Amino acid sequence: MLDHLEKILIDEEKLIKRVKELGAQITEDYKDKDLFIIVILKGAVMFASDLIKEIKLPLAIDFMAVSSYGASTKSSGVVRIMKDLEEQIEGKDVLIVEDIVDTGLTLNYLFENLLSRKPRSLKVCCCLDKPSRRKAPVNVDYVGFNIPDEFVIGYGLDYAEKYRNLPFIGVLSKEAYAK
């Protein structure tokens, strides 16, 4: 499985440390609020699972699945909601937990969609941010790491549904997807 790994970008130790820091900051920012976390499937599951353990507050969780990649290494720009929320978010303090913000097209669409549901507040936390690829304006309130424009895998991130189980963030070699 590691044959297609070009390099490790963020090791497991750095991930754990940063997730603890984010959890502490979110705990402080949301004390005395009605925190509702929306985990974006599938990529954010590992990050969200670790992050939620570090948030020392009562909170509720729901899941959404959105797609703009498919089996590609580039966002198509066409966003589809594959799974919607089961809970209402009106009047709640909502935090979207996302794996990576790339072009911003998916997050921009998702943010507008969720804003129309009248939450009290709506913020975004992402594990990885790739600001150099931004095509749509998005505000990310909590960022784990800013990364360069490379195709990353691991810690929930995939290429064609593989590599999600790596405990670190790695760069996929071009040979793996240039077929």
Q: What angle do CA 65, 105, 48 make, to 5 degrees?
A: 40
Single out the residue of 171, 164, 168 nearest to residue 144, CA to CA.
168
Strand 152-153 versus strand 169-172 pairing type: antiparallel
Quote the tokens at residue 45. Answer: 């599951």
Quote the tokens at residue 177. Answer: 């997807």
Quote the tokens at residue 34. Answer: 């009605």
Active-site residue, from 93, 99, 102, 129: 102
102 is catalytic: yes
Q: What's CA 101's distance to the chain center, in Å?
A: 7
Catalytic residue positions? 102
